[in-house]
Structure 1
Amino acid sequence: MIELETLRGGLIVSCQAPDGSPLRDPGIIAAIAEAATMAGAAAVRINSVSHVAAVRERVRVPIIGIEKKTINDAQWITPTVDHARALVDAGADIVALDATRRPRPGTPRVEDLLRGIRDLGIPVMADIDNLEAGIYARELGAELVGTTLSGYTSHPQNRTGDPDIPLVRALAEASVPVVAEGRFKSPAEVAAAFAAGAFAVVVGTSITEPMALTRRFLTAQPTLTKGVAE
C-alpha cells in the first residue's frame, strides 16, 4: 500500500477526456499524465482500466483510478468492487468511488462498496457531495474524502462555477483528510483550498482539457457586426 503522506500538500492532476474528444485515447492520456508528473504533479487521477494501464507504463507517481459508468441514466464513479479490482490489476494505487448518500438503484450500498474495495488492500478515496456524506465515508474507513461531486448531485449547496471551499473547510475542521476537487480554475483557488485545510487538491479541466479551455477563451472573442469596415 502506498504512503498517503507523500500526497499531503500536493497537486493531483486529473487526466481525462470527454466522449468525442480526440484526446480520448490511452496513449494520449498517458502522455498527458507523464507531462503532468514531469511538471511536478504528486499523483494523477485516471478514468478507465485501459487508460490506467497505459499511464502505469509511463509514470511512477500514484494513480487514483476510477471507472465511470452510466446506470439507470445516472453516472456513477466505480460502482462495483469488480470495477475496482480491474483498476487495481491495471496499476491503480488508490481507487475512488461515489460515496454520496443518494439512492443507488442497481448498485451496491456505499457501505458494502467502500468496505469491499478496502478489502482489496488499497486506499479508498470517497467522492462526496456534502459534509454528512464525507463524515460518513470517513467513518466507514475511507482514507481520503474528495469534494468531487459537490454541486453535481441533488444537493444544492454549490451550484456556482467555483470550487466548494466552504465544504473543504468544514471537512477539514471535522478532521477528515479532504482532497479538494471540482471547478478549480486558477492557482489562487488552489491556494485557497490549502488555506482551508485541504490535504491535497485535484485539478483537471483547467490543465488537461484544451477543448474546454478553448471555449473559455472564445468567450472573450468580440462580436463582429456584418458590414463593419475592417
Structure 2
Amino acid sequence: MTNFDIEPLRGKLIVSCQAPDRSPLRDAGIIAAIAEAAVIAGAAAVRVNSAAHVAAVRNRVDVPIIGLEKVIDATGAQWITPTVDDARALMDAGADIVALDATLRARPGTPGSDALIPAVREFGAAVMADIDSFEAGQNAGALGAEIVGTTLSGYTSSPPDRFGPPDIDLVRALAHLASPVVAEGRIKTPDEVAEAFEAGAFAVVVGTSITEPMALTRRFLAATPALTKGSLS
C-alpha cells in the first residue's frame, strides 16, 4: 500500500499541465517547461497526462506529480487511466499519485472502479479518484482512494456541460467524506478557487485557465467587436 503523505497539499493549488490534441504545446519538453514555470510560481503539485509527459516533468520538478492517462474511446467518451497497466506505467515514469476514472459508468473491456482502485493501491500507488457525482465519490472513498476529485463533473452528463461554473455543491457534499476532496474542473477565476476552499476543498486544481493559451485566447476573442458582431473574417 502507498506511503505517500498527501497532507502537505492541504490548502494548496495544484496546476494541471496538459495540452489538447493538435495543440502545438502537446510536446513532452514544452509540458515540462510549463510545469516548471507553475512550480516556480508556487504550485504545490502538478497534474500531467501520459507516462511520457510525466517522465519529462519529473526531470524538471520535485513537487508531487498526479499522473493520468486520458483515453477517448470509439464513442467519444473520455476515460481517465482506465487500466492497471496504464497506472503502473505512470508510476514507473515518476508519478506520486495516479488519477483513476472512478465514475460509476459501465465500461466494457476495462475494470470498474470497484476493481481498479484496490488493484492500483495494491502495488503502492496513491489514488486520486476522478468522479462525477456524490455517489461515485462515496464509493471511491469506501474503496480507499486517498483523494476524491470532482474532475469529471459535467463531462459525463448528457449533454455534457464542460463550460459552465465549477460544481461547488459537489465539493461541499464530498467534504464530509473521509477521503479529502480536491476541487477540479471548470475553475476559471481566483474567486472560484476561494469559493471551493470555503466549501471544504482539501486542495484545488486549475488547468485550462492557467496553462492553455488557445482556450484563453478564444475567451478574449469572444469580447472583440469582430466576434460579437459576427463579422470575423
Which consecutive aligned stretches of 4+ in structure 1 deviate over 4 angstroms post-superposition?
155-160
The answer for the alignment partner of 1:214 in structure 2 is 217
Aligned pairs for 1:114-193 (under 5 A) are: 114-154=117-157, 161-193=164-196
Task: Give runs of aligned pairs for residues 54-93 of structure 1, distance below 5 A.
Answer: 54-73=56-75, 74-93=77-96
Secondary structure of 1:173 counterpart:
coil
Per-residue deviation, residues 33-67 of structure 1 (Å, max 9, x unmatched): 00000000000000001100000000000000000
Q: Aligned AA for 2:138? A: I
Residue 119 to residue 225, structure 1, CA distance change in 2 (3 Å): closer
1:28 is aligned to 30
| Distance in 2 (alpha carbons) for counterparts of 1:149 and 1:142 | 16
TM-score of the superposition, structure 1-length normalised?
A: 0.94
SS in 1 for 2:82: coil
Distance 1:191 1:225 in 2: 31
Aligned partner (choices 105, 108, 129) of residue 108 of structure 2: 105
Between structure 1 and structure 2, the one with the greater Rg is: 1
Unpaired runs of at least 5, structure 1:
none
Amino acid paired to 2:196: A
Q: 1:204 and 2:207 equivalent?
A: yes
Does the residue aligned with 1:223 lie in a helix, a strand or coil?
helix
> How much identity, in percent, do the aligned residues show?
73
1:159 is displaced (CA, Å) by 6.8
Q: How far is the alpha carbon of 1:3 from its aligned partner? A: 1.4
Moved more, 152-161 or 34-43: 152-161
Distance (Å, rounded) in 2 between the aligned partners of 1:46 and 1:225 = 35
Q: Describe the SS at the equivalent of 2:71.
A: strand
TM-score (norm 2): 0.92
Q: Residues 148 and 179 of structure 2 are in contact (CA less than 8 Å); yes or no, is this contact kept in structure 1? A: yes
| Residues in 2 aligned to 1:198 and 1:148: alpha-carbon distance in whole angstroms | 13
CA distance in 1, matches of 2:16, 2:100: 15
Cα–Cα, structure 1 residues 162 and 225, in superposed 2: closer, same or farther, change >3 Å?
Answer: closer
Q: Is the 8 A contact 2:101 2:129 kept in 1?
A: yes
